Amino acid sequence: MAVIDRNKRLVGLVALSDLATRTRRREQVGEIVEGILQPSQPAR
């Protein structure tokens, strides 16, 4: 997953599998990933 700044410049990459395997709240991984994948603004 691309990480972009406010100016829409690429500033990093995050693997969703890393987030899923490194969280301490394993029972909530689905909710966490779903929240991350939500767009910050409505589609235009």
Q: State the residue range of the domain holding 18.
A: 2-37
15 falls within a domain: yes
Confidence band (pLDDT; 50, 70, 90) for 38? Answer: confident
pLDDT mean over 5-20: 86
Determine the Cα–Cα distance for residues 30 and 39; give it in Å rounded to an integer. Answer: 16
43 falls within a domain: no
27 falls within a domain: yes
> pLDDT exceeding 90 applies to what percent of the chain?
20
CA neighbor of 34 nearest in space, from 1, 10, 12, 5: 1
What does each C-alpha distance from 29 to 5, 7, 26, 35, 43 come to in angstroms? 24, 29, 5, 10, 25
For residue 4, is pLDDT > 80? Answer: yes
Count the domains in the chain. Answer: 1
42 falls within a domain: no
Confidence band (pLDDT; 50, 70, 90) for 42? Answer: low
* The model's pTM: 0.43
8 falls within a domain: yes
44 falls within a domain: no
Confidence band (pLDDT; 50, 70, 90) for 44? Answer: low
